[in-house]
Chain A
Amino acid sequence: MTATLQRPRPGGRLAVPSGRRAGRGRAVPLGLIAPALLFYAVVVLYPTVAGGLYAFTDWTGRAGAPDVVGLGNFAELLSSPPARAALANTLVIAVCTTVVQTVVGLALALALHSRLASRHVLRTLFFAPALLPPVIIGFLWQYVLTPEGPLNGALAAAGLDGLAGNWLGDSALALWAVIAVIIWQNAGLTMVIYLAGLQGVPAELLEAAEIDGASRWQRLRHVTLPMLLPATTIATSLTLIGSLKLFDQVYVMTGGGPGYATETLSVVMYEEAFVSGRYGYSAAIALVLTMIVFALALVQMWGLRRYEVQP
């Protein structure tokens, strides 16, 4: 997977032992892509282009041709306070979620890559939240995080009242609470990706390092982690893209509040389209979001690829 954007090489990276390349002359026909491309074009490409064109209009969802407003929607996006708050929050959520979820997922994977008797059950348990619909996760946590709700109740029961907070009602805490919920839901997915990556770390390499006197930490730092970089690329790509598009959990838990403390681009996009009926403006926000996702994904993949070791 060496970086998602690297050009493919026939035969992969593992050298063909004999060097024989007899079949090379007959390339795999590109026609095999046709069925997939057909579905993709019908469901994603055509509608996206057709819908994207509305970003340059003031369409409100009515039948008939809307007025073209050029870049007016984009100008409004940059000057509207909710949209600007949303832009900032979206970036904070994406960066924090990606970093912390990766660390948490890695830690879980390292812990469960061991010979713990309970590891199979624990893996399933940690992965379980990723199986639930995001809307349900939102409702569940909205309830858990209420001022007199289960979390504060549990903290009080444990004698930790001092840690209790108005998690979703305090504008200083709400964004972090949302981020924590997202990480809770998806850390299991990152863990599974890293568990898989750990299977690819040769035991001989670790043993050799141990014989050379490397400490546990040194083995982790200099042997295991570098070999996990491809896994990191996959895990962080999926997390980054998902958290930039974050909608359901925020919409359900806070509706973007208190105030605009947890507003995200997806929430503004939804409200403009379906609460205010401004489809054109909403499409402009969607286009901007797509460009941000694309740019950040490029930067992240490019950045990580530089550190990947060649096995």
Chain B
Amino acid sequence: MSRSSVARPLTPRPLASRVTAALVAAVALTSCGFVNTDDERSAGAVTAYVNTEQNTGLAPLVEAYRQATGAGVDVSSANTDELNQQIRVQLTSGTAADVIRVSPGYSSPVAAGVLGAEGQIADLSDAEWAGQLSPDTRALAGVGGRVMALPVARNAIVMAYNRDVFANAGLTPPTTWSQLLTACRTLRDAGVTPIAAPFQGGIYLQYWVYALAATLVYAPQPDIDAQMAAGATSFSTDARWNEVFARFAELNESGCFSDGMLGLPPDQGQQSVATGGSAMLLTVSGGLPALHGYHEAGAQAFDVFALPATDDTTQTHVPVAPDFLAVNAAAKDPAAARAFLDFLARPENVAAYANAMGVLPGLAVDVEIDSTVLTPVLPYVEEGRTTAYANYLWPNGDVQQTLLQSGQEWLHGAIDTATLLGRMDADYAKGTP
């Protein structure tokens, strides 16, 4: 190439040949990346594809596993949105990792119930730890009562608050619905937004529905999903479901929520609680580290309580979401993949993960939790006063999507409760695709 350049007066080549030389060098340096060779991955290592949060929590345990057994685990991660999309494509194509993150119940195309029914993930019912799932977690871990996923952790929906703001307003955490409304008024009068409502995108909007439904719908009638699936009741006709939206509307109409809530993204909601512009935020416990990060004092500046939905404190329940790992039914070495999950399920490792991440232990085992972040809601977990997020056993993702988007229209006053619930019923009736 460089020789013949003399013969081509119209193409001065020094730059081109320099670029070519640089490229050849770069390619040579990375030449192993152009074809797949088996030595690229440590042979026999279990592969895992998990979300970003799980990756952080698993990293020390993977190292401990390697030291204990000599076996490696090759972990990759992605944000949950993209992860779900990719795992679905990979499962269809037979290229998925041995251990994968699955969503609870039927809440996404890669949920334990959906993949379990398709036979894409392995039945783990005979694992030692399978008896240690709390009842609400077990219902989400597979199909037909089989356990097909290990909960490495559980997240709870909790009300986080800024300690200083509460102290300045002379408030203590409300334990009843009336106290919550009173607290809102007090804070409003003090010039503080009582509750940050980052409802842009609808993600934080749904937490309200799930948290109110835990106490109002799921605690009194745990078999509501079966009834709805059988067509015996529906969002529209069930008085308790209507109560959920009535309470939500009551808070909205009493001016408890941020102004411009539909334009407020989650990060700015967290920031406003951190700076004291708002007092409270209903959040998944997985969001607490970010909230803490927005304050110089970190976790010290905040505390949490369980959202009350009635004036009877004994009725309050907390919605809890398991964070699952499952074994790909087509894993190269299922026994090795299961051995890794068994390792994660040991009490000391359950505790280590929970402490490192500030989350609830995945399994109902008696472990010591050093992290005090969730201390106020631990009694609920210990007493079994937890329920699954409402959407996990809805038959398809459209119901939730409608809640997110039509829910915004409803908060804005564009549609009434009957219309919203009617739309959710229509999506529910479509069944599982």
A and B: direct contact (Cβ < 8 Å)?
yes
**A residues with CB within 8 A of B:** 58, 60-63, 82, 142-143, 145-149, 166-171, 174, 254-260, 263, 271, 273-278
Q: Is the CB of B261 within 8 A of A169?
A: yes
Residues of B within 8 A of A142 (CB): 200, 265
Most central of B262, B404, B406 by chain A CB within 10 Å: B262
Q: Is the CB of A275 within 8 A of B401?
A: yes
Most central of B84, B265, B401 by chain A CB within 10 Å: B265
**B residues with CB within 8 A of A:** 81, 84-85, 88-89, 91-92, 108-109, 114, 118, 200-202, 258-265, 267-268, 272, 277, 396-398, 400-401, 404-406, 408-409, 412, 414, 433
Residues of A within 8 A of B200 (CB): 142, 168-169, 254-255, 257-258
The 4 residue pairs across chains A and B that have the minimum distance between CB atoms: A169-B263, A277-B109, A147-B260, A169-B262
Of the residues B85, B262, B414, contact of A274 by C-beta under 8 Å: B85
Chain B nearest Cβ from A80, distance in angstroms:
10
Q: Is the CB of B108 within 8 A of A277?
A: yes
Of the residues A62, A143, A145, contact of B118 by C-beta under 8 Å: A62
Tell me whether A147 and B118 are in contact in the complex, defined as CB-CB below 8 angstroms, given that A169-B200, A260-B405, A278-B433 are known contacts.
Answer: no
Q: State A274–B109 Cα separation when bound (angstroms).
A: 7
Q: Determine the main DSSP class of B at the interface with A.
A: helix
Q: State A82–B404 Cα separation when bound (angstroms).
A: 12
Q: Nearest residue in B to A147 (C-beta to C-beta)?
A: B260
Tell me whether A169 and B260 are in contact in the complex, defined as CB-CB below 8 angstroms, given that A255-B202, A257-B200, A275-B397 are known contacts.
Answer: yes
Q: Nearest residue in A to B88 (C-beta to C-beta)?
A: A61
Q: Nearest residue in A to B402 (C-beta to C-beta)?
A: A82
Beyond contacts A146-B264, A171-B262, A274-B85: 14 other A-B pairs, Cβ-Cβ < 8 A, are A61-B89, A61-B91, A62-B92, A142-B200, A147-B259, A148-B268, A169-B262, A169-B263, A254-B201, A255-B201, A255-B405, A257-B404, A257-B408, A274-B81
Residues of A within 8 A of B404 (CB): 255, 257
Q: Determine the main DSSP class of A at the interface with B.
A: loop
Q: State A189–B118 Cα separation when bound (angstroms).
A: 48
7 A-B pairs (CB sep. < 8 Å): A166-B263, A171-B262, A258-B200, A259-B409, A273-B85, A275-B397, A277-B433
Most central of B118, B202, B260, B401 by chain A CB within 10 Å: B260
Q: Nearest residue in A to B267 (C-beta to C-beta)?
A: A143
Q: Nearest residue in B to A274 (C-beta to C-beta)?
A: B85
Chain A nearest Cβ from B198, distance in angstroms:
9
Residues of A within 8 A of B92 (CB): 61-63
Q: Is the CB of A171 within 8 A of B268?
A: no
Q: Is the CB of B260 within 8 A of A166?
A: yes
Q: Is the CB of B109 within 8 A of A60?
A: yes
Q: State A258–B56 Cα separation when bound (angstroms).
A: 33
Q: Is the CB of A169 within 8 A of B108?
A: no
Chain B nearest Cβ from A257, distance in angstroms:
5
Q: Nearest residue in A to B110 (C-beta to C-beta)?
A: A277
Residues of A within 8 A of B398 (CB): 276
Q: State A142–B268 Cα separation when bound (angstroms).
A: 10
Q: Is the CB of A259 within 8 A of B405?
A: yes
Chain A nearest Cβ from B382, distance in angstroms:
34
Q: Is the CB of A259 within 8 A of B414?
A: yes
Chain B nearest Cβ from A46, distance in angstroms:
16
